[in-house]
Amino acid sequence: MRASMAALLSLLLPALLCLTAVSPQLAGADECGKAPPLPPVDANGLERQMLDLSKLSDDPFPAVTRVLFTEHDMKARQFVKSLMAHIGLTVREDPMGNIFGRWEGSDPSAGTVLTGSHCDAIPLAGLYDGVLGVLGGIEALAALKRAGFKPRRSLEVMMFTSEEPTRFGLGC
């Protein structure tokens, strides 16, 4: 599981670097076309976070059931907010309940790069269902911060509300 998470994040990090860089060197290539080393991701920490989040379920592990606005969904939402705040993101929630963690870039006019997914889960879903897109995004930003990266564009991780809308008898 750790290898697949690290592989996914190795795809996300260059894209974030390229889209947000202050200089071409930070964007992913020097004059010789060689890419700089990517900041290391904490695959063990990401795996632990995914397992912790999977325990916020109406069904026993390994199944995950987290229907929108249930007790477990609300705890999962708080868990994600706490992870965002822990790495220094500015956390906000819109009127629909979408959660955003923002890392302000140096150029407010440059636009924002956003990544994310959902943490609600249809009955008996799996561990990765949407969660890796949220927690992986948080870890990608944490890795960039640990490496001392300074983004030109603002970066955000978003947790969508009700991507799996089974709460009201609707499904995707």
User: Which tens digit of pLDDT belongs to each residue from 30-39?
Assistant: 444 555 677 8
Res. 115: pLDDT tops 60: yes
| 4 inside domain | no
SS3 label, residue 64: strand
| 20 inside domain | no
| 94 inside domain | yes
Give the global pTM.
Answer: 0.81
Domain count, the chain: 1
Residue 145: which domain range?
41-160
- Band of the pLDDT at 6, cuts 50, 70, 90? low
Instruction: State the CATH number of the domain containing residue 154.
Output: 3.40.630.10
User: Which tens digit of pLDDT belongs to each residue from 61-83?
Assistant: 899 999 888 999 999 999 999 99
Closest CA to 80 of 126, 128, 137, 163: 137
| 114 inside domain | yes
Closest CA to 71 of 55, 87, 92, 86: 55
Euclidean distance between CA atoms 120 and 17, whole angstroms:
29
**Token pair recorded at residue 20:** 């947000």
Average confidence score pLDDT of the chain: 84
Res. 162: pLDDT tops 80: yes
